[in-house]
Structure 1
Amino acid sequence: MSIAAGEVREFERQRPRLFAIAYRLLGSASEAEDAVQDMYLRWSAADHASVRTPGAWLTKALTNLCLTRLTSARARRETYVGPWLPEPVDTSGSTLGPLDTAEQRESVSLALLVLLERLTPPERAVFVLREAFGYGHAEIAEILDLTEANCQQLYRRARQHVASERPRFTPSTGDRERITRRFLDAARGGDLDGLRSLLADDVVSWADGGGKVHAARKPVRGAERVAQYLCRLAGEAAGVGFVVTELNGQPGIVATVGGAVLLAVVLDIVDGRVATVRLVANPDKLGFLGTQLV
């Protein structure tokens, strides 16, 4: 049975929000795209006459689909080579919805998405729907087929799990861009002292190569070691172009060669200094970002 034009338009109207939910639940842009496409197929086959509220129907179906995918993803990540980081997304536009507040930026930050990996799939779903999209507990209970009391309990547990390490977002946009450009210039120029001055004393650098490319498999800690490590990486980047942009609501740098994304760097800047550096080099995680930058 073919889908009517009105139902197609309704799905396309919902698509950006569905992708934003799926990405926060899965931490993967490519998997989020697949989940949304699966939802289109389900929507095409649905009995639309029985669907009173398309947005609610699609949100419920998508969330439960993502919960199933999360279970298998967690098993895969247990055997992942080196640190696992989410897929970076360019958020200088509206790909993940409005990011006007610190809370909205936090909801897509790599730091928070890494913390959400510690939650059970139901905890993660409740947390994302409540904190990022403002759903009430009664609405979430309907989406997940749980009691409202159970949803409240899951939400409390989820908040406790991430409370102690939730990221802080303090600098203005202008400060972030200025610090990011100085960071890039110092690294590319081999300016160890200049780079070190931009780093917090207890800075940590994480690299995700996924076993596909060479990358540090353990975190590099401390301003001295991180500065040396980053200068060495930048020194090996002959013929590489760099773009300063916003990735996951945070200051970001994208390295490209011949139009292909080679590396994404995301910075946590706290009190005017870089507190965490996250480098995503696994080519499997850079495809979506590449399509955004074309």
Structure 2
Amino acid sequence: MDEQEWLTEQFEEHRGRLRAVAYRMLGSVSEADDAVQDAWLRLRRTDGGTVENIGGWLTTVVARVCLNMLRSREQRREEPLDLRMPEPIISQESGGDPEHEAVLANSVGLAILVVLETLTPAERLAFVLHDMFAVPFEEIADLIERSPAATRQLASRARRRVQGQAPVPDPDLGRQRRVVDAFFAAARHGDFDALVAVLDPDVVLRADGGARGSGSVVIAGAPTVAGQAILFGRLSQFARPALINGAAGIIATTPRGPLSVMAFTVTGGRIVAIDVLSDPDRLHQLDLDALDA
């Protein structure tokens, strides 16, 4: 086996982990794939004999590429966004794409990614690498040009925000689906009390309608969210069950195209978060073929 074949074999062995790191960093499957491809091109130009730990080296390269992409993304924004919904990973409830399942390993719900979007690039990198992939603070510190102690503080600050705003969902998908179905049944019949009953008192609804749509909306509290749910109860006739980032959700679609993607975080048998993507431009970029398979 020559060196290029060996490098290819090593890269393929680590590809799944690299895509998972990049997706959590960027919240976009396509951008994550670009970052992983960039790492592969850099590896091909490297003398493999000089790299002691290929997996660690590739993780560092992907993390640095993602960090630069996040910083560039911030600089391109003329105005700060109230809310940016990450790109959801959508699959059938009967089973998803194996590659997508690898990206979602260890659970990365849409609610967590929404919170990660509110972090600074350095905070996001510190949290993702350390808390999700057990990379030592000393290695992360070199990437963001901070001391290990300062890097630890960044990760701690990010962790508090994630834990406060993105509760861990119930592991039972069947239970999640029953709660989501009850939510839509109540919305369809305009049953306010039944809606409140399936919502956590502190539930948060976040919606990203994009510049051409309804803009961004964040509302909180069971009565307020229940009232809003009744208003879009008509969408229930277009709802199709799907897994959104591994959790129970729906796609609202008509023959003319998708209307929205709704991800639900169900904890303790109640809905604690609803994350909605209704940006018409971004919806038409999603690959929904998996739902028709």
TM-score (norm 2): 0.79
**3-state SS in 2 of match to 1:211:** coil
Which amino acid counterpart does residue 204 of structure 1 have in structure 2? V
Cα RMSD after superposing both structures: 3.2
1:275 and 1:160, CA in 2 relative to 1: closer, same or farther beyond 3 A? Answer: closer
Q: Which moved more, 1:83-92 or 1:176-185?
A: 83-92
Aligned counterparts of 2:219 and 2:147: Cα–Cα separation in 1:
44
Which runs of 4 or more aligned residues in structure 1 lie more than 6 Å from their structure 2 counterparts after TM superposition?
A: none
Aligned counterparts of 1:203 and 1:31: Cα–Cα separation in 2:
31
| Unaligned runs of at least 5 residues, structure 1 | none
User: Which residue of 243, 247, 251 corresponds with 2:244?
Assistant: 247
Matched, 1:272 2:269: yes
Q: In the TM superposition, what are the counterparts of 1:136-215 in structure 2 within 5 Å?
A: 136-141=136-141, 147-170=147-170, 172-213=172-213, 215=214
Cα shift at 1:76: 4.5
Cα shift at 1:29: 2.3
Which amino acid counterpart does residue 269 of structure 2 have in structure 1? G
Q: Which moved more, 1:27-36 or 1:156-165?
A: 156-165
Determine the structure 1 residue equivalent to 2:219: 220
Aligned length: 284
1:220 and 1:123, CA in 2 relative to 1: closer, same or farther beyond 3 A? Answer: closer
Contact map agreement 2:14 2:55 (CA 8 A) in 1? yes
1:9 and 1:276, CA in 2 relative to 1: closer, same or farther beyond 3 A? Answer: same
Contact map agreement 1:80 1:210 (CA 8 A) in 2? no
Contact map agreement 2:129 2:140 (CA 8 A) in 1? yes
Aligned counterparts of 1:283 and 1:19: Cα–Cα separation in 2:
26
Contact map agreement 2:19 2:103 (CA 8 A) in 1? no
Matched, 1:257 2:254: yes
**3-state SS in 1 of match to 2:217:** coil
TM-score (norm 1): 0.79
**3-state SS in 2 of match to 1:275:** strand
Q: Which moved more, 1:53-62 or 1:39-48?
A: 39-48
Aligned counterparts of 1:260 and 1:133: Cα–Cα separation in 2:
37
Aligned counterparts of 1:143 and 1:80: Cα–Cα separation in 2:
25
Q: In the TM superposition, what are the counterparts of 1:24-103 in structure 2 within 5 Å?
A: 24-76=24-76, 79=79, 83-90=83-90, 93=96, 95=100, 97=102
1:80 and 1:159, CA in 2 relative to 1: closer, same or farther beyond 3 A? Answer: closer
Q: Which moved more, 1:126-135 or 1:51-60?
A: 51-60
Aligned counterparts of 2:81 and 2:164: Cα–Cα separation in 1:
26
User: Which residue of 264, 282, 290 corresponds with 2:288?
Assistant: 290
| Unaligned runs of at least 5 residues, structure 2 | none
Which amino acid counterpart does residue 247 of structure 1 have in structure 2? I
Which amino acid counterpart does residue 43 of structure 2 have in structure 1? W
CA deviations on 1:182-230 (whole Å, 9 max, x unpaired) are: 22333345444433432234433221011132x3633234434433433
Q: Give identity over the alignment, percent.
A: 36
Which amino acid counterpart does residue 195 of structure 1 have in structure 2? L
Cα shift at 1:80: 5.8
Contact map agreement 2:195 2:226 (CA 8 A) in 1? yes
Cα shift at 1:165: 3.5
Cα shift at 1:172: 3.2
Cα shift at 1:65: 0.6
Which amino acid counterpart does residue 13 of structure 1 have in structure 2? E
